Chain A
């Protein structure tokens, strides 16, 4: 056995190397010191307490949530994904918020309701007094509101969400707690997708000045019920209850966001009790529905999936060819096969719960004879086209069905599965219009119809409008919809826009994805149709 120790020498050398590396360079977690006392486990007495001693503190009440990727940027002007808004919504607050669904907003930081001028261009506000920012950055004032909104127009900063405040002229501070939001022109999305969501969250001007944007992006300061405590990259983000919160104290002492990218790992984590709440794939829904320890929460989102047809491609420039393709696809079968029939079928890109949804839009059923007839009208007996899609299981399933469906109508489809980065790169720019024919697409949206229609304007043709379709009337209506403040008139505008798209037959609408969240039966979660959840509003049953 003399050689075994020698053999283990190699292992020891590598172990020592690793230990040295760990000691020399292990990145300290991004931790913000907090005045809160040490955790209960550290101060628990080793012996039973004497009757005269204070009782041992209870274990902290921790809510553990799955996030599908690591956080990237928690600055309200830059939030790149739902994961970041799910975290940041516990730290930041706006003047108004969606309390849990998108049908109403709730005023939270305001001492009295907004006053809006007759022309709709001046919105006056009065803040509650005594609201404190985290980490000792002082009281919330109208100056912070001015700073938070006007920074969206700072050309140096140039945040991606600057269009949320496209109509803002300025914010005038009229007192320590009062001010006027002044618009250059009426801006309908203000009340749906600016003030109540991330673009309306208030940041601390003092913290921004002292710490800088880069630091606050990963350790933000707000007025919300939880303050940022710790970030261990690719492992977890920890928020701790803000003891000086101005409102009702939330239930949980800490909220832990655990990074679990793989759905199967997340499902196991839920079943083993490692997390209390998280999104799961459609294939796991049945299993959790049958498990008495969990509740499944399906949320019909505003997102939309469809098959885009490139109207500029020679194969698809004839509208009859596009109609033939639309008539040749069995959309219900796609949803059944790819999503276990659990997604709501889409009539257009507007989800039914969104203002401007076209509830009477035609629902195209598969009609092979009709498809052949359209093809004949285009002077064709058969056609060869390509279908490009991001190579994930659901898309591959749908693509194969589309291929089989269209083959019966005389349309031969070549499938082009692509890795995510290539898929999004190739369709973008002038090259996309040349190479793409049919493309399986999926977009998410903010809760305002303008953020659905904007991607299909002429200005987006070489950017995100992958039907490469340009219609001036559609563009005019889009601009009109942004300015129209009457909801009914606005809804009519968006229906008209969807009708224009339907006539152009450049899309086969598939589904509005349903997000499935699983929570322990002891927890009541709050999830919105944007697919975001609001952890600080979670309660135990």
Chain B
């Protein structure tokens, strides 16, 4: 187990290093002068030149990339071009909102999607299964930005139940939760449909296996077979998918954050790129990549933990 974890950690570090160099280089390929965008048309050439030097934009791109990597190793992500504040502050201000959104939306998807999948698999080809199948596919096909706008129009404008904008403050958990409800639902809808289909398919496959037939032959109750023996194995692929999903959502749910004006990592990346704010873009994308790798690493390990066959196969 220790060797496995060590191997995965080394691979994760290599991926992170490559991602860092690649992302730092790619940021410079985006056309557009950050100084012009920041200072506006009336800034003098002298002022622009001075700011360019202060920002380190005079250096060749490989030097800028190397400086970024060296700074990163020292825990310094650089300073934001626009406000000159440390990028790490911007990220640490944005990240909790993104984590809250990702956890809430995937949590919602797990709590609703998995039971829906189990219900479908327990009564295959019934009218309930067909209805849930139709519902799940519909949820999967609705783009997130459409469901976000529809939810806003229904609950914020039509029923006037929930405030439509901002993230609220962590100091007011109830208020924060209310602000989180609609964006998390908008993100969760697709995942609910996806998980329901995934769990149904895996569960049906498991339910046709020999050990389930044996369990039935022993006269075990169907409920025990379903929840104790079948579902555990059926959820293994779901865990892997959730790992990727969590990584993606932590990387920034840009549409939802922009529509609900939530100050998360996704909107920070979007804004930084449009402003050619290289340090902020680099830092935020790097953190997103790190979270993606981390989520996948955790999913990998839990996958191995949940499935003893992998451990047996390795040994």
Q: Which residues of A contact B (CB under 8 A)?
A: 1-4, 6-11, 13-15, 17-19, 21-22, 24-27, 72, 80-81, 158, 160-163, 214, 218, 232-236, 258-262, 264-265, 268-269, 271-275, 419-422, 424-426, 428, 455, 463-464
Are the CB atoms of B261 and A259 closer together than 8 Å? yes
Are the CB atoms of B259 and A262 closer together than 8 Å? yes
Chain A residue with Cβ nearest B149? A264
Contacting A233 at CB < 8 Å: which of B93, B232, B299?
B93
Show 27 A/B contacts (Cβ-Cβ < 8 Å), sorted by A: A7-B235, A10-B246, A10-B298, A11-B106, A14-B246, A14-B298, A15-B99, A18-B100, A18-B103, A22-B96, A25-B88, A25-B91, A27-B85, A158-B44, A160-B39, A160-B40, A160-B47, A260-B165, A261-B258, A264-B149, A265-B259, A268-B149, A272-B157, A420-B274, A422-B31, A424-B36, A425-B32
Determine the distance from Cα of A237 to Cα of B99 in the docked complex, in whole angstroms.
24
Contacting A26 at CB < 8 Å: which of B37, B41, B43, B93?
B93
Q: Tell yes or no: B89 within 8 A of A by CB.
A: yes
Q: Tell yes or no: B250 within 8 A of A by CB.
A: yes
Q: In the complex, what residues of A have CB within 8 A of residue B50's CB? A: 158
Min C-beta distance of A465 to chain B, whole Å: 11
Determine the distance from Cα of A10 to Cα of B107 in the docked complex, in whole angstroms.
11
Instruction: Mark each residue of chain B from 209 to 240: 1 if its CB lies under 8 Å from any CB of chain A, else 0.
Output: 00000000000000000011001100100110
**In the complex with contacts A27-B93, A161-B42, A271-B157 CB distance below 8 A:** yes
Q: In the complex, what residues of B have CB within 8 A of residue A428's CB? A: 33, 36
Determine the distance from Cα of A10 to Cα of B302 in the docked complex, in whole angstroms.
8
Q: Tell yes or no: B282 within 8 A of A by CB.
A: no
User: Which 8 pairs show the lowest CB-CB distances between chains A and B?
Assistant: A421-B32, A18-B99, A25-B92, A22-B96, A27-B93, A234-B263, A272-B156, A422-B31
Contacting A27 at CB < 8 Å: which of B92, B170, B258, B267?
B92
Contacting B110 at CB < 8 Å: which of A8, A17, A422?
A8
Q: In the complex, what residues of B have CB within 8 A of residue A274's CB? A: 156, 163-166
Given A9-B302, A22-B170, A264-B259; 17 other pairs, CB 8 A cutoff: A2-B228, A6-B305, A8-B107, A10-B299, A11-B107, A18-B99, A22-B95, A160-B42, A262-B259, A265-B260, A265-B261, A268-B153, A272-B152, A273-B160, A275-B165, A425-B31, A464-B41
**Residue total for B at the interface (Cβ-Cβ under 8 A):** 78
Determine the distance from Cα of A260 to Cα of B167 in the docked complex, in whole angstroms.
12
Min C-beta distance of A364 to chain B, whole Å: 28
Instruction: Find residues 272-315 in chain B having any chain A CB closer than 8 Å to their own CB.
Output: 274, 276, 294-295, 298-299, 302, 305-306
Q: In the complex, what residues of B have CB within 8 A of residue A273's CB? A: 160
Q: Tell yes or no: B90 within 8 A of A by CB.
A: yes
Q: In the complex, what residues of B have CB within 8 A of residue A265's CB? A: 152, 164-165, 258-261
Q: In the complex, what residues of B have CB within 8 A of residue A269's CB? A: 164-165
Determine the distance from Cα of A265 to Cα of B110 in the docked complex, in whole angstroms.
28
Are the CB atoms of A15 and B160 closer together than 8 Å? no
Min C-beta distance of B118 to chain A, whole Å: 10
Are the CB atoms of A22 and B92 closer together than 8 Å? yes
Instruction: Find residues 6-59 in chain B having any chain A CB closer than 8 Å to their own CB.
Output: 30-33, 36-44, 46-47, 50
